[in-house]
Amino acid sequence: MKATARAHTNIALIKYWGKRDEQLFLPMNNSISITLDRFYTTTSVSFREDLSADVFVLDGKEMGGHEREKISGFLNLVRRTANHQGYAVVDSLNEVPTAAGFASSASGFAALAAASTRALNFTISNEGLSILARQGSGSASRSIYGGYAEWHKGTCQDGSDSFATQILPENAWDLSVLSVMVEARQKKVLSREGMRRTVETSPFYAGWLDSLEIDLSAARDAIHKQDFEQLGTVLERNALKMHATTFGANPPFLYWTGATIDVMQVVQELRENGVLAYFTIDAGPNVKVICQPADEQVVKDRLLELECVQDIFLCHPGPGIHYLTT
């Protein structure tokens, strides 16, 4: 009863920001992402009769405390879904620079959902996997698919219609995503807490929700037409709006550092000089710069001129979950 699955991280072009149900990870709004080729998690799960608790090994190290509890809590959900009793050994390898502040929860929970259900021989659709992964980390719902995906917020209270679907496969439209590392430290306000505080206290949150449908349809339309300028314009605007909601929270908070702003300004300056590049930022100081493959070297070289840039990881659209034979 062992299976191994690999899932890649994704970067949101239209952000998931705010939950309507914290327990079930039901979002306030739809979101749209690109799955990335370069960062992924490979997870093996084996259910064994001889265990009295779940075991979680991450990058070769056995984890305890909160980390293990999170995995065990997720496996409880899988056990309920697949109607199985018995504990498992979860062995995960992260090809994600987590120490550099890049999130691994999306690839982590997508890989765990896939490997654990496969280990139990439980037949499940991609939508079912997306629903499962969502309950580990919201953004994981999108990592089931390669290329471009949309997570539909759904309307059911039980979350049965809150899952992602693919918009375009990874080989349909190549774009370059430069993950620009300016800060290796852990983020101060985790996304869960950041979302909660913003939903509960920020007067700007209503504005975020009000303008979301426009951003979503512009992004969807741009992806279908493969119109890069349209996509870039809306993704940058959407990221700034998400961050603006945090300025209005009580107490207010800010994920950016001075270096974040330096990168943003270089991207805008590149555009003034005719190079189409756009930025997006998640719940931390690092920036993802998106451009067309023909411009990736120019963009990278210009960004590397900034002293605050510690490293740049170049990514392209990557695949959805797949199973490995071990």
Q: Residue 10 or 44: which CB sits closer to ligand PMV?
A: 10
Q: Residue 47 or 255: which CB sits closer to ligand PMV?
A: 255
16 binds ligand PMV (CB under 6 A): yes
Stretch that binds ligand PMV, among 8-16, 122-130, 153-161, 203-211 (CB under 6 A): 8-16
Cβ at position 1, least distance to ligand PMV in Å = 29
212 binds ligand PMV (CB under 6 A): no
Per CB under 6 A, contacts with ligand PMV among 157-196 are 191-192
List Cα–Cα distances, 127 to 123, 132, 203, in angstroms.
12, 9, 34
- Kind plus residue range of the DSSP H or E element containing 45: strand 31-48
Per CB under 6 A, contacts with ligand PMV among 75-114 are 103, 105-106
Total residues at the site for ligand PMV (CB under 6 A)?
Answer: 14
129 binds ligand PMV (CB under 6 A): no
CA dihedral 181, 186, 187, 189 (to 10 degrees): 170
29 binds ligand PMV (CB under 6 A): no
CA distance 259 to 277: 18
Identify the CA nearest to 151 among candidates 4, 18, 306: 18
Alpha-carbon dihedral sign for residues 176, 177, 180, 184: negative
279 binds ligand PMV (CB under 6 A): no
Q: Are strands 55-58 and 2-14 parallel, antiparallel or unpaired?
A: unpaired
Q: Which residues contact 241 (CB under 8 A, 6 or more apart)?
A: 207, 208, 211, 215
32 binds ligand PMV (CB under 6 A): no
Cβ at position 139, least distance to ligand PMV in Å = 4
